[in-house]
Amino acid sequence: MLQATYRNYLNAGRDLAGREQPHAPKHQYALYSDYRHPRGWFARLDVAGRDAFYFSASHDERSRPYTLTNIKLGLATRSTTVELWARNLFDVEYSQRGFFFGNEPPDFASKRYTQAGDPRQVGITLRYVWQ
């Protein structure tokens, strides 16, 4: 468990003492499972998650907790490897960064803006090693 908090910190007149620091979730985890068959078949599953966290010290906007799952399946021979893979397998919508400011006319009211994390990506990788 991470406990990254401010001790004595004023930001634009706001006392942030005791508040968690930005991009420092209390809990994070990562698990994986890897299988390899003697005939070259392989599989890997990765699951990683993080708790909610503040985006910045300049505002009180927070992320939502999220879990991402990646998978890889393939076959490896002496000279060739073929992999089918997917990142963010379940297409989880999550925010990497967050901001809070006025940007839209006519009144420029402060509003939350976020930068989305990568959506699901699927691909095939082919490797050949010249002997």
pLDDT of 14-43, one tens digit each? 899 999 999 999 999 999 999 999 999 999
pLDDT band at 76 (very low <50, low <70, confident <90, very high): very high
- Using DSSP's 3-state secondary structure scheme, residue 130 falls into coil
Residue 131 has pLDDT above 90, yes or no: no
For residue 8, what are its two tokens? 């004595």
Across the range 94-108, mean pLDDT stands at 94
Cα dihedral: 109, 115, 120, 124 (round 10): 150
Residue 1 has pLDDT above 90, yes or no: no
Residues 6 or more apart in contact with residue 69 via CB below 8 angstroms: 45, 46, 47, 88, 89, 90
Residue 124 has pLDDT above 90, yes or no: yes
Domains of the chain by residue range? 24-94+108-128
